[in-house]
Structure 1
């Protein structure tokens, strides 16, 4: 299993609010523990989760102790680490990769007094398991606007990790936004089949560049795609993924999607401290501050920056949804009628490309 799911449970779309009973008595001190799928120095996904952990400790000082284990493979190793953390006195454990879903739910049943929080998952088999996620596709709409307006070749690219709903809706949102501002744009997709492997990510970027792509977005965890873009002497631009990736400013990194987990971690541990903690299933986005758009640099023309910022602000205001019809599926079948926005259930289970994308979905 990988970090995100292949098919989302339909029940996830119905559970975006707190449920269950609050814990009546708060704790004087919380030991908060984190399980990471990659190294904290990956520059992306794990780095940003760890930044959230550090922010949590800074917020509460000596009321919170943090512990973490990095580069934990998904599967049996995760069960072992989760068990050790539960036995080691962790009051709450944040498991930050989709492939930890089954281990989390297996271990949670054995430790009912420990709270388990699973990032990007949908299973909550026990009252002490919560799930949390971010609407990354909203940020892809901002990036797609920049890509569509700045491409000179009319060829933009996307490095996919795995063909799961989170990645599929990101690719589709990126393409739809680009197509909206540039009807001539074409999208190429290369699948890296990894979350963090700088060599594979670099090869994927090279493959796109060889196809004539001059704007690259990536749904993988390292800075390798930007490093490859940097070798083109300004011919190719890209975006920071998960973290700001400021080392590549002002170009090729012209903006970024920043996963800001800190407010969620502060809120959840704070609820343990004050006794208001409840089981939850949260999917937050730009308006919540969980998905941030990093600085749009001066390498982006003023009119492009203004258009991208308007997309960001309209999404936050609720006046724009990244998936608003009319939209057809890749095979030409109807999906969303004119003016209709995609329900969360469709996005959480997305396994298709929209019309206009010629890439195939791997089986």
Structure 2
């Protein structure tokens, strides 16, 4: 999910294309059972044209046809192409690689049916990689970084017989492309649960007199909705255990910069943070926290993507994780079987799309039981991560929100909670809630 300049370009492109009736922005198919969409529809579109809100909702009823992919599979010629921002050395990409390999094994897809493109930046190189894969006979092509989207869409327009699937993007719902979809996980759910783990530890430290100020820190990559959604979910998880908790966030402006992440964690600990979490892709923060713990400080960490116990054996409490196997297996199975492919799909606890890693030895007593209770409540729809009663903005509860960046006029709060990853697979929660301070 990446790059601020890419985000601006996508937003500008979307507005321009919307004016001439071509690609714009995204959606997710399924709405929770018994949940009604808000009655009011924002317009802002010329008479006779669909508003952005209407386009997003209409896309739910217009899935992608996979007949050509099925024909290739039936003929023994099904091929998969994969475009990755980094390689297996970076946690985010390693998680995608593991998920893809798990899906391949599950579906009987052999190694010689898959072509990998590693270390593909968010520029024209991505388009070139996609073209190479299409020319090599791939029937379905995946790309895993936010900034890949516009380049993947360009290739999708040039190769209408190939399916193009983009993780974390926001354009499939409003694009006129009939071979392009977005997918993601509801990782905000596992971030909330990881926040509960952190909250349990924070409370234990306060009860033991080791901490007086319930102050936590967060190392974020960029100030995008995906990151804001994640750190807010983490904070709300902490706050569910320690209501008076507050959190500072610092951004590294990179998805993977070990040095910057380590320095950010050290700066937050120097300010007095007792627990550090992250939305950045290296072990920089956990390594710094482990070093601080070894030096005698009472500090702990919560990671992302991968189990951080190897980097921080005593400091790591857990990591919020995506189970990409479920996402990739679902999309690939639809393609191979000729089933309609939703333009947006998100996978959460209800379908095993997210999880937290093994609890570390420093976790507070009772954490296991609390985690099981919270996961069950989320899975059953009894706990909504962004329940509007769990946070305030300028001291007030929100009853409406239609100002998510790039989606002005699309209502995202109804039935008492923010409907993250329901209208779109990608996160849209970009609200600045009370108790969280951005340092840069």
Of the structure 1 ranges 145-154 and 111-120, higher mean CA displacement relative to structure 2 is found in 145-154
Task: Quote the residue 1:30 is aligned against.
Answer: 78
Q: How does 1:73-222 map to 2 (within 5 A)?
A: 73-124=121-172, 125=175, 126-151=177-202, 152=205, 153=211, 154-222=214-282
Alignment CA distance shift 1:85-1:120 (3 Å)? same
Deviation of 1:325 (Å): 2.5
Task: Quote the residue 1:342 is aligned against.
Answer: 418
Q: Does 1:355 align with 2:370?
A: no
Contact conserved, 2:26 with 2:171, CA < 8 A, in 1? no
TM-score by length of 2: 0.75
Aligned partner of 2:349 among 278, 286, 297: 286
Contact conserved, 1:30 with 1:63, CA < 8 A, in 2? no
Contact conserved, 2:190 with 2:355, CA < 8 A, in 1? yes
Q: Does 1:21 align with 2:79?
A: no
Deviation of 1:200 (Å): 1.1
Task: Quote the residue 2:370 is aligned against.
Answer: 307
- Separation in 1, partners of 2:245, 2:289: 19
Q: Does 1:274 align with 2:337?
A: yes
Deviation of 1:196 (Å): 0.9
Deviation of 1:223 (Å): 1.2
What stretches of structure 2 of length at least 5 have no aligned partner? 15-23, 29-56, 206-210, 401-413
- Separation in 2, partners of 1:83, 1:226: 38
Q: Describe the SS at the equivalent of 1:283.
A: strand
Alignment CA distance shift 1:312-1:136 (3 Å)? same
Larger-Rg structure: 2
Q: Does 1:2 align with 2:2?
A: yes
TM-score by length of 1: 0.90
Task: Quote the residue 2:49 is aligned against.
Answer: none
Q: Does 1:48 align with 2:95?
A: yes
- Separation in 1, partners of 2:104, 2:415: 45
Task: Quote the residue 2:386 is aligned against.
Answer: 323
Deviation of 1:127 (Å): 0.8
Deviation of 1:54 (Å): 1.9
Aligned length: 360
Of the structure 1 ranges 348-357 and 105-114, higher mean CA displacement relative to structure 2 is found in 348-357
Aligned CA RMSD, in angstroms, stands at 2.7
Task: Quote the residue 2:324 is aligned against.
Answer: 261
Of the structure 1 ranges 337-346 and 228-237, higher mean CA displacement relative to structure 2 is found in 337-346
Alignment CA distance shift 1:182-1:198 (3 Å)? same
Q: Describe the SS at the equivalent of 2:255.
A: coil
- Separation in 1, partners of 2:292, 2:140: 46
Alignment CA distance shift 1:57-1:11 (3 Å)? closer
Deviation of 1:246 (Å): 4.1
Alignment CA distance shift 1:172-1:71 (3 Å)? same
Can you list the C-alpha shifts for 1:52-89, whole angstroms capped at 9, x where unaligned?
Answer: 22223323143861111111110111111111111122
Q: Describe the SS at the equivalent of 1:247.
A: coil
Contact conserved, 2:64 with 2:179, CA < 8 A, in 1? no
What stretches of structure 1 of length at least 5 have no aligned partner? none
